[in-house]
Amino acid sequence: MSGWREKLPGFAVLAGLLVLWELSVRLKWVVTPTWPAVSTVLETFWQSLADGTYLQVFGSSLERLLYGYVVATLLAVAIGIAMGVWRRMYLLFEPLVELLRPIPSPAYLPMAILFLGIDNTMKVFMVAFASFFPILLNTVAGVRSVDPVLIDTGRTFGLTRAQIVARIVLPAAAGYILTGMRISLAIALIVTVIAEMVAGNSGIGFYILSAQRSFLVPEMYAGVIALALLGFGLNKGFVALERMALSWHEGWHASAT
Amino acid sequence: MKLGVEGVSKRFGSLTAIEEISFDVADGRFLSLLGPSGCGKSTILRMLAGLIGPSRGRVAFHGETVAAPPPGMVYVFQQYTKSLFPWLTVLANVEFGARSPHARRRGHPASREECMQTLRLVGLEEHAYKHPWQLSGGMQQRVAIARALVARPEVLLMDEPFSALDALTRESLQDLLLRLWSELGLTVVFVTHDIAESIYLSDEIVVLSRAPSRILKHLEVDIPRPREQLATRESPRFLAYRRELYDMVVAG
């Protein structure tokens, strides 16, 4: 396949860097316990994967990530549709959204701890709050981009307002909404890790930080690699779902030019 | 009398688009609204459809004031690319019409089989499982017509439905429309700025002036049916109507 051939140089760079990492330790270019050989790191990675450490560590991370993400998605899509459909709702909430949106999510972590403590509730809230805005803004933009002809079509067939929203606005805005959801999924992972590092006793964030603190250096690196793979996998999985849901979308866009 | 426009005016802010218009559309008639671009023809059609309300006067359908889109009327838009649902297949688009609330109000909704039959009627049966954007413009507008027909309308409101199509496609769709109109006993209100098209299709033509739009003339088209693209368009009567209307539309 030509696709493979095209991607080969990129993988070669990656492999080259890993080899360089290994050589830097084997040939004693760098001699420090904070820089273990990549083979040591990978071995630790396999071990932790095999003995179920990661299953447990990522299990609790994924659980709070998904709770927060799903809550954020439901709320953001519902409010986003309301704001997109009713101008009054838009005018009511737009200043608030514009004020809250630019705050980097770690900044409200101390407040969240004050109000919600350091338990799971706080972390789920953090994830939900941070994931909320990209989905909200994309939903509003998506709803506003729906062509009025499409809505008039619904009206001439006698659809009620609720039916127009469910059967016309929602699918027509799906492309925007899913883009927002994809952005938020990455954010959700970031915030999960941060929240677990700041106040946690479980999860991948806590695991990486405590590995560093107890000087389990290979474990720390291996955890980061595992996290990279998880992020990669989440995004790939989401893109695949998106493709399935929007199989009509690409061809439609291509034909609309 | 089926459809009545009674002393209708329409203002947008301080701008008067439509000025005191009245005409009736009788059962089974094919009536065209003809006028230059931007004269407010579409605005009149949107008021007939109940998509917007008049500033003064009223639109009546079977004697009742039209306040919202009533069952029994379907609107076919000029912009077929925007009016069809891109996420649905051709057949699913048609089924949308068949299962719509308006279709349900007019009795038993058309089954999938009947939807296929309607697609056959407009010559698209083998494209049933494609998406609209995979079809040509003319085919897409035929999908929109099929979707309108399965809702079992008495009245089809058509807003320059063929103006974005090439000449040959336009003529074949004109003939398809005339066939469907006579076979299904529809009433059609057809908006166009194409003089020849309005003569070729219509029983009656309402000629509108430039904005603020008034009725310049409401005339009967006395040309026998069935009509035929070449013979009808070359007939002396057709040409006489064309000359008469041309002066009127251009003078505005």
Token pair of B54 as six digits: 């008049």
Rounded to the nearest angstrom, the minimum Cα separation between B56 and chain A is 22
| Structural domain ending residue among the three candidates B138, B153, B168 | B153
Select from A149, A171, A172 the Cβ nearest to the Cβ of B79: A149
Residue B100 covered by a domain? yes
Distance from CA of A160 to the nearest CA of B (A): 9
Contact list in B for residue A255 (CB cut-off 8 A) is: 133-134
Does any domain span residue B59?
no
Which residue in B74, B82, B96 is closest to A149 by CB distance? B82
ipTM metric:
0.92
Chain A CB contacts of B101 below 8 Å: 157-160, 163
**Yes or no, beta carbons of B101 and A158 under 8 Å apart:** yes
pLDDT of amino acid B110 = 87
At residue B176, φ and ψ (nearest 5 deg) are -60, -45
Q: Do A249 and B69 touch (CB under 8 A)?
A: no
Tens digit of pLDDT for each residue in B67-107? Answer: 999 999 999 999 888 899 999 999 999 999 999 999 999 88
- Domains identified in chain B, total number: 2
DSSP 8-state secondary structure symbol assigned to residue B73? E
Same domain for B226 and B148: no
Residue B251 has a pLDDT of: 79
At A202, list the tokens.
């479980």
B-contacting residues in A 170-189 (Cβ below 8 Å): 171-172, 174
A66 Cβ under 8 Å from any chain B Cβ: no
Q: Are residues B195 and B217 in the same domain?
A: yes
Please list, residue by residue across A71-83, b when 16 or more beta carbons sit within 10 angstroms of its beta carbon and e when fewer do.
bbbeebbebbbbb
Q: Do A251 and B77 touch (CB under 8 A)?
A: no
Looking at residue B246, what is its pLDDT? 93
Written as tens digits, the pLDDT of chain A (257 aa) is 567 889 999 999 999 999 999 999 999 999 999 999 999 999 999 999 999 999 999 999 999 999 999 999 999 999 999 999 999 999 999 999 999 988 999 999 999 999 999 999 999 999 999 999 999 999 999 999 999 999 999 999 999 999 999 999 999 999 999 999 999 999 999 999 999 999 888 999 999 999 999 999 999 999 999 999 999 999 999 999 999 888 887 666 676 65
B175 and B222 co-located in one domain: yes
Tell me the whole-structure pTM to 2 decimals: 0.88
Clarify whether residues B222 and B165 are in a common domain. Answer: yes
Does A159 sit within 8 Å of B51, measured CB to CB?
Answer: no
- Looking at B116, B131, B153, the residue that finishes a domain is B153
Q: What is the pLDDT of residue A256?
A: 63
- Alpha carbons B226 and B201: distance in angstroms, whole number: 10
3-class DSSP assignment, residue B154: coil
Residue A5, SS3 per DSSP = helix
Contact state of B74 with A157 under an 8 Å Cβ cutoff: yes
- The answer to whether residue B139 is domain-embedded is yes
For residues B74 and A157, the answer to whether their CB atoms sit within 8 Å is yes
Q: B250 and B205 share a domain?
A: yes
- Residues of chain B contacting residue A150, judged by C-beta atoms under 8 Å apart: 82-83, 85
Smallest CA–CA distance from A169 into chain B, residue = B85
CATH code (residue B178): 3.40.50.300
Which of helix, strand or coil describes residue A240? helix
Chain B contact probe: residue of A151, A152, A153 with most B CBs at under 10 A: A153
Burial B31-67 (b: 16+ CB within 10 A, else e): bbbbbbeebbbbbbbbbbbbbeebeebbbbbeeeebe
pLDDT of A2: 62
Question: Count of A–B CB contacts within 8 Å?
Answer: 70
Which residue of A149, A158, A252 is in closest CB contact with B71? A158
Distance between CA atoms of residues A110 and B173, nearest Å: 67
d(Cα A54, Cα A207) in Å, to the nearest integer? 9
Say whether B59 sits in a helix, a strand or coil.
strand
B82 to A168: CB separation less than 8 angstroms, yes or no:
no
Closest CA to B196 of B218, B158, B227: B227
pLDDT tens across the length of chain B (252 residues): 689 999 999 999 999 999 999 999 999 999 999 998 888 899 999 999 999 999 999 999 999 999 999 999 999 999 888 899 999 999 999 999 999 999 999 888 889 999 999 999 999 999 999 999 899 999 999 999 999 999 999 999 999 999 989 999 999 999 999 999 999 999 999 999 999 999 999 999 999 999 889 999 999 999 999 999 999 999 999 999 999 999 898 876
CA distances in angstroms from B236 to A111, A207, B193, B201, B205, listed in the order given: 85, 91, 21, 16, 18
Report how far residue A182's alpha carbon sits from residue A237's, in angstroms, rounded to the nearest whole number: 10
Is B1 within the bounds of a domain? no
Range of the domain at B187: 26-53+68-72+154-252
- From A173, which residue of chain B is nearest by alpha-carbon distance? B87
Residue at B244 is within a domain: yes
Do B160 and B244 share a structural domain? yes
Do B158 and B215 share a domain, yes or no?
Answer: yes
- Peptide bond preceding A95 in cis form (omega within 30 of 0): no
Tell me the angle at which helices A120-144 and A87-100 cross, rounded to the nearest 10 degrees. Answer: 130
Pairwise CA distance, residues B142 & B120, whole Å: 11
| Structure tokens, B147 | 């979707």
Compute the nearest-CA separation of B73 from chain A (Å).
Answer: 8
Q: Which of B153, B182, B198 is the last residue of a domain?
A: B153
Do residues B209 and B247 share a domain?
Answer: yes
Sign of CA dihedral A161, A166, A172, A178: positive
- What is the rounded distance in angstroms from the CA atom of residue A184 to the CA atom of residue A69? 8
Q: Which residues of A touch B86 (CB under 8 A)?
A: 248-249, 252
- B200 and B88 in a common domain: no
Q: Is the domain of B146 the same as that of B159? A: no
Q: Which domains does chain A have, with CATH numbers?
A: 40-245 (1.10.3720.10)
Is B171 found in the same domain as B136? no
In a domain, B60, yes or no: no
Query: Quick one: how far is CA B213 from the chain centroid?
Result: 19
Instruction: Output the pLDDT for position A247.
Output: 83
Task: Give yes or no: residues B101 and B170 share one domain.
Answer: no
pLDDT value for A245: 86
List CB contacts (< 8 A) between A249 and chain B. Answer: 86-87
User: DSSP assignment of B190-218, as one string?
Assistant: EEES-HHHHHHH-SEEEEEPSSSB-EEEE
